[in-house]
Amino acid sequence: MGRADLDKQPRQVAAMFDGVAQKYDRTNTLLSLGQDRRWRRHMVAALSLEPGHKVLDVAAGTAVSTQELAATGAWAVAADFSLGMLQAGRAKRGSLPMAAADALALPFEDATFDALTISFGLRNVVDPERALTEFARVVRPGGQLLVCEFSRPYLPMRWGYRFYLRQVLPRVAKRFGSNPEAYTYLSESISDWPDQKQLARKIAGCGWTEVAWRNMTFGVVALHHALRTD
């Protein structure tokens, strides 16, 4: 793939994820130095879900995060536009409901869910603002949004983080991943992504209110939480 200018066609991005699906979970844990598990725990805790809540997990991949959402007693649905990812998830987590779905046109009625999550997926959507507006459509008034995404680390960490993204991550992916070019895309798309304040402004302009974020791992990842406008 070429440079990640955030204008990738959905079919290209879906095909890229199809190609990494079988080793996706293992490679993510390796590249994040095991932090991905902690990020998911904090994501689930931030929602304070209860049994009976309905949650849509967009860009769910192999449904690792969906499984943890469902462990709260909530009814959690995994949605992704990569059929390869969903097939890999079905093989491991077949009891979870899954749906092939484009974040820009979700196949659900208005106000269906109490909460919606998207982890490390908003970066890959061709039109993030349109996706955020679509998320607001399927969440009930007063419901929750949680975006877990790579972000801008604290200043002392930035040089080392850039070095890791540009030099270390592609080499590790080449050694252990099934499609090294996908992780070159990952590195470039992270570098091009808005920082915490910019993303918060985007969310607030798309039908969400009370937008707040929490940095994790020195700001390498941020959780953005918001409520559906009444």
Q: What is the pLDDT of residues 59-117, one digit of tens each?
A: 999 999 999 999 999 999 999 999 998 999 999 998 999 999 999 999 999 999 999 99
Percent of the chain whose pLDDT exceeds 90: 60
Write down the pLDDT at residue 3: 42
- Residue 1 — very low, low, confident or very high, per pLDDT cuts 50/70/90? very low
Q: How far apart are alpha carbons 88 and 50 in whole angstroms?
A: 28
CA distance 206 to 136: 7
- pTM for the whole thing? 0.84
Provide the pLDDT for residue 178: 56
Mean pLDDT, the chain, integer: 86
Q: Which of 48-57, 151-160, 221-230 has the lowest mean pLDDT?
A: 151-160
Residue 117's CB is within 10 A of a number of other CB atoms, namely 29
Q: What's the mean pLDDT in 193-199?
A: 94
Q: Kindly indicate the confidence band of residue 230, based on its pLDDT and cuts at 50, 70 and 90.
A: confident
- 57 pLDDT tier (thresholds 50, 70, 90): very high
Mean pLDDT of 41-55: 96
At 29, the pLDDT band (50, 70, 90 cuts) reads confident
CATH of the structural domain 10-228, one choice from 3.40.50.150, 3.20.20.70, 3.40.50.880, 2.40.160.10:
3.40.50.150
Are the beta carbons of 143 and 209 closer than 8 angstroms? no
83-113: burial string, b at 16+ Cβ within 10 Å, e else: ebbbebbeeebeebebeebbbeebebeeebb
Domain boundaries, the chain: 10-228
Residue 173, judged by CB atoms within 10 A of its CB (0-12, 13-18, 19+), counts as buried
* Most trustworthy range by pLDDT among 33-37, 142-146, 170-174, 179-183: 142-146
Instruction: With CA atoms as reference, report the closest residue to 88 among 7, 17, 136, 16.
Output: 17
